[in-house]
Amino acid sequence: MNPSSPAHVADKSHYLILDGLRGVAALMVVLFHVCEAYSPDHPLTQLINHGYLAVDFFFLLSGFVIAYAYDDRWNTLSIGGFFKRRLIRLQPMVIMGMTIGALFFPFQAGNSFPLIEATPAWKVFLVMLVGYTLLPLPPSMDIRGWSEMHPLNGPAWSLFFEYVANILYALGLRKLSNRQLGFLTLCAAVFLVQLAVFGKRGDLIGGWAIEPEQLHIGFARLLFPFLAGMLLMRLGRRVRIPNAFGLCSVLLIVALSLPRLGGAGHLWLNGLYDSLCVIAVFPLIVAMGAGGSLMAGWPTRVAKWLGDISYPIYITHYALIYTYTEWVSRHTASPAYTMAVGALVFVASVALAYACLKLYDEPVRKWLQGRVLRSSKQVKPVASPQDQEMAP
């Protein structure tokens, strides 16, 4: 077969669409966080209002792709080998994200972050070192004032739960039959709906702190999408439509951008929307993305670029968001000027992520693959289609 023929490219790029969608969701997260900085009564009136659901989409993609990459490899792959692969995929950028967070930390002191000014350098350094491990910090170690488990890089909370999911997968979930997995997925859906529809907030925002309510939110957000992603991959459910990448991107952007539903008087209505997105809309988008194909040329290049940039931008952008948030709180500029600066923050986030990807992440992962995996004969190229593991 001609390597440049449409059939060949479609086969190679089968899940490249999912990589591209992950990039679309990551960019929406950055927009969501930029808008948070000047939203006076978030989450009721914020622009890009449901951007927080991108994390739930990431967990769904993660369950799907991890099952795809590993379910049929356990006759030759050890648990230790699996964890090595996941650490090589995720940990370098965890370290970079925490380092960038520490470098920007002194410039974020102000009313938005009341603890920064009184925090000594040694404590920032200690928090950074603990952050390298992704071990969650207790409230007593909060150095910002937002009660985050990772106060130098708030979004790292979802990486903590990603690691929890990976441990659960390696130790037990991979062994479940489809029927058993389906039962757990159903139970997780009930758990999710209970939180979103019947909870006191009317949304799925949260999961970033080590305290009972936030852990409840974190596990509710993790379990259904990750299990559903695994089940969707195993069942082979695919929706084949033309122009799948473009249509799925539009659906995802719309789902993450819609205004808050129900207002303060009907919180359950927004919770119902969140539940429907995670339980029905996102699996449909993944099924369409997995069933679609990409022609050679710019669609493939765009999807690959979005996939490549998705994890670096997610794990590095929040240092700029912290800084922007404090800047907004100290200035009385017009909304147009504030949003223009926000646009610059968005562009800077993309540029920073791309620099980290090319100058650090890809070289470090390639070196680690050669050093750590060579002895077990498990080395694969950094961009191997079989090993495109999703990171939230």
Q: What ranges do the domains of the chain cover?
A: 6-387
Q: Please say if the pLDDT value at position 2 is more than 50.
A: no
Taking all residues of the chain, what is their mean pLDDT, rounded to a whole number?
A: 91
Measure the CA–CA gap between 63 and 72, rounded to whole angstroms: 14
What is the gyration radius of the CA atoms in the chain, in angstroms? Answer: 20
Average pLDDT, stretch 156-163?
Answer: 98
Which range has the worst mean pLDDT, 10-19, 32-41, 352-361? 10-19
Its pTM stands at 0.92
Predicted confidence (pLDDT) per residue in 290-331, tens digit: 999 888 888 899 999 999 999 999 999 999 999 999 999 888
Identify residue 58 by its one-letter amino acid code. F
Q: What is the pLDDT of residue 228?
A: 98
Average pLDDT of the residues in 15-44:
90
Q: At what angle do helices 54-70 and 282-291 cross, to 10 degrees?
A: 40
Average pLDDT over residues 172-193: 98
User: Which percentage of the chain shows pLDDT scores above 70?
Assistant: 91
What local confidence, expressed as pLDDT, does residue 377 receive?
A: 52
Instruction: Report residue 8's pLDDT band, with 50, 70 and 90 as the boundaries.
Output: very low
Section 339-359 average pLDDT: 97
The pLDDT of 19-34, averaged and rounded, is 97
Q: What torsion, rounded to 10 degrees, do the Cα atoms 146, 147, 148, 151 define? A: 60
Q: What is the pLDDT of residue 280?
A: 98
Average pLDDT, integer, range 132-145: 95
Average pLDDT estimate for 72-91: 95
**Tens of pLDDT, residues 234-248:** 999 899 999 999 999
The H or E element that residue 360 is part of is none
Query: Residues 244, 289: contact at Cβ < 8 Å?
Result: yes
Place of tokens 């992520």: 353
- DSSP structure string for 58-109: HHHHHHHHHHHHHTT-TTT--HHHHHHHHHHHHHHHHHHHHHHHHHHGGGG-
